[in-house]
Amino acid sequence: LSIYDSAGNPLVHDPNPWSTENLLGITDIYGASIGRDALTMAREGGGFNYINLPSESDATTRLSLGYVQPIDDEWFILLTVPMKMTETV
């Protein structure tokens, strides 16, 4: 759970390394701006989205479900939940 202002600056952040940076400069593995998408979604009333982030620990990607909720015109909440991918053998 992280809280950002409308400029993408973190006010309260979760332990993800990327959540301590300005959110507007962070892109997913496909080059989409996570911050701009989250800010747009917050201005439109909030909602769910998917975020693909590189995993620093094992050089793979991690799909996360994101939820954006506006607090007011200046702040919004971003909650990300990693999706556990199961392998079948």
- Looking at per-residue pLDDT, the higher value among 75 and 52 belongs to 75
Taking the model in full, what pTM does it have? 0.75
- Looking at per-residue pLDDT, the higher value among 55 and 78 belongs to 78
29, HSE (Cβ side, Cα atoms, 13 Å): 13
| pLDDT in the model for residue 57 | 66
> 25: which DSSP letter?
G
